[in-house]
Structure 1
């Protein structure tokens, strides 16, 4: 079983406009759609497409619980969310142009999670997660969810012996990198901070960090990625696609990567799956859609070069 943890999920309100978003102009919305928001939920969606058993965990507000769960049910995402009374699950407004690429995101902050619900999540992990499972912690924390809160959650997962994957930022990312996880995916700027070598080549920073992390991925956006595993570093060149929205592309990559590991694929096959899922995702305007047929096609267009072995 794979458990995805989204500490601060959202309802993505997709606002479609014609042309570019401009200041001092009436940018009329031509249609509105809704999608699940939050990195862990996007990972769950990818896993669903590959029929891999998974359960989404996290916290949601009572006030708009029906609307949020309706979106999850339409995506067939199995879930166990702990409900915060009298609170609203945040919305993320995503402005998307119908005639050009790219999007603009405006996320709300979310609500403060009670100690009671934090403890419920910890108890669930202790009781349900086994050493053969995978746990993916992804996304930003809710307000007042401290580093100490994260350390407690991190330790609870580590104690189960399960595979731990993290897609985080800020101090949470720093803590995960220092304390050893099975999968980590910083971007090019974040890896410089992690390696304390801001002026060095990205490979220098990867060499410093890869020993503690079984699968260490550095995202380069459209340029692809570096993947470090088993004392080897691979340069991955992504296929060229027509981008409509990059929202959720990194999450799609994580979902594809975890799916490949769960299926016991070779490291190169895992990389091809993850990169292809992300490439397919950017061709769609919402936060999570991708095509399995496109994934199979894109796998053939990916270049993987072993740039360094140890």
Structure 2
């Protein structure tokens, strides 16, 4: 079982319009809603691939109920903590006349998650770790959480012999690395923000020096860089994939968690992460893979040992 944590979930709402114009009125042609947030996307990908997963998150209000209902309808096992603060919305506006896959995004801030609620959520997650193999912590932390919140979950996982993967940025990423996270996965911009290094290799090595066992850096269309105690590898897709990059990083995290659970060697983990990431970029919404793209790309990814 791979347990995912989404401290700042959302109800993702997608509007499709003819075109987007500042100061103009827009007639919405279609509306699509689904449970969102990085960890929930990870669980959705894993579930789609037939890998056992449990999604955890704090939710509140009518939108929290909508998140719960969507996960139930999708058949994704979940354990959600009711809290007083309402779940946020993220709104994506996609124009028919725009670039394919391009969206204008509006991301609401999360509700304040107080110390008592975080303690209850941490206890919920810890209780679900018995029998789990991997814990995945993904996304931003809502107001009220501290930079050590993910680090606390990493230590809780290790106390139960569960491996921990963390996908976040900034001080929370540094704290998770210092707690000994087994894998941290920033993208290049997040790594630069966190470490101050423009060179991904130098930034990844800094996170390793801070305590992370392995660092995987997403490089967008250029693939991924992995720095571990066993070596350094780089992998890239054989061709560029057009589409919506939202959720590509979450698919990569899902692939890494699956590879860790299966105890695969790092080149195999990295190859799957690049393939799933590219297939997610080609899919219309986050949390899904374009299986045609996956079949076209999976066996053609080259992994270079640096």
After the TM superposition, which residues 139-158 of structure 1 pair with which residues of structure 2 at under 5 Å, given as runs?
139-158=139-158
Do 1:276 and 1:295's aligned partners in 2 also have CA atoms closer than 8 Å?
yes
3-state SS, counterpart of residue 65 of structure 2: helix
Structure 2 gap ranges (5+): none
Q: 1:260–1:126: structure 2 CA closer, same or farther, 3 Å change rule?
A: closer
Q: How many angstroms apart in 1 are the aligned matches of 2:270 and 2:239?
A: 16
Structure 2 counterpart of 1:172:
172
Residue 194 of structure 1, CA deviation? 4.3
Do 1:103 and 1:247's aligned partners in 2 also have CA atoms closer than 8 Å?
no
Do 1:6 and 1:40's aligned partners in 2 also have CA atoms closer than 8 Å?
yes
After the TM superposition, which residues 175-190 of structure 1 pair with which residues of structure 2 at under 5 Å, given as runs?
175-190=175-190
Structure 2 counterpart of 1:63:
62
Residue 221 of structure 1, CA deviation? 1.1
Structure 1 counterpart of 2:110:
110
After the TM superposition, which residues 225-240 of structure 1 pair with which residues of structure 2 at under 5 Å, given as runs?
225-240=224-239
Determine which of 192, 200, 206 is the counterpart of 2:204. Answer: 206
Is residue 2:287 matched to residue 1:276? no
Q: How many angstroms apart in 2 are the aligned matches of 1:151 and 1:266?
A: 26
Is residue 2:16 matched to residue 1:16? yes
Q: What are the superposed Cα offsets for residues 26-85 of structure 1, whole Å, 9 maximum, x if unpaired?
A: 443221101221000011011112222111111000333332222112322111010013
Deviates more, 1:120-129 or 1:213-222: 120-129
Do 2:137 and 2:150's aligned partners in 1 also have CA atoms closer than 8 Å?
no
Q: 1:234–1:289: structure 2 CA closer, same or farther, 3 Å change rule?
A: same
Q: 1:150–1:300: structure 2 CA closer, same or farther, 3 Å change rule?
A: closer
Do 2:237 and 2:300's aligned partners in 1 also have CA atoms closer than 8 Å?
yes
Q: How many angstroms apart in 1 are the aligned matches of 2:28 and 2:38?
A: 25
Do 1:214 and 1:229's aligned partners in 2 also have CA atoms closer than 8 Å?
yes
Q: State TM-score, norm by structure 2.
A: 0.89
After the TM superposition, which residues 1-310 of structure 1 pair with which residues of structure 2 at under 5 Å, given as runs?
1-19=1-19, 21-85=20-84, 87-99=85-97, 100-101=99-100, 102-130=102-130, 133-196=133-196, 198=197, 201-210=199-208, 212-307=211-306
Do 2:155 and 2:179's aligned partners in 1 also have CA atoms closer than 8 Å?
no
Q: What are the superposed Cα offsets for residues 168-217 of structure 1, whole Å, 9 maximum, x if unpaired?
A: 12211121123321011112233345445x35x33233333335333311
Deviates more, 1:72-81 or 1:232-241: 232-241
Q: How many angstroms apart in 2 are the aligned matches of 1:133 and 1:184?
A: 17
Q: 1:181–1:29: structure 2 CA closer, same or farther, 3 Å change rule?
A: same
How many residues align? The count is: 303
Q: How many angstroms apart in 2 are the aligned matches of 1:278 and 1:114?
A: 34
Q: How many angstroms apart in 2 are the aligned matches of 1:216 and 1:36?
A: 28
3-state SS, counterpart of residue 298 of structure 1: helix
Residue 152 of structure 1, CA deviation? 3.6
Do 2:149 and 2:172's aligned partners in 1 also have CA atoms closer than 8 Å?
no
Q: How many angstroms apart in 1 are the aligned matches of 2:18 and 2:238?
A: 27
Do 2:169 and 2:193's aligned partners in 1 also have CA atoms closer than 8 Å?
no
Q: 1:150–1:232: structure 2 CA closer, same or farther, 3 Å change rule?
A: closer
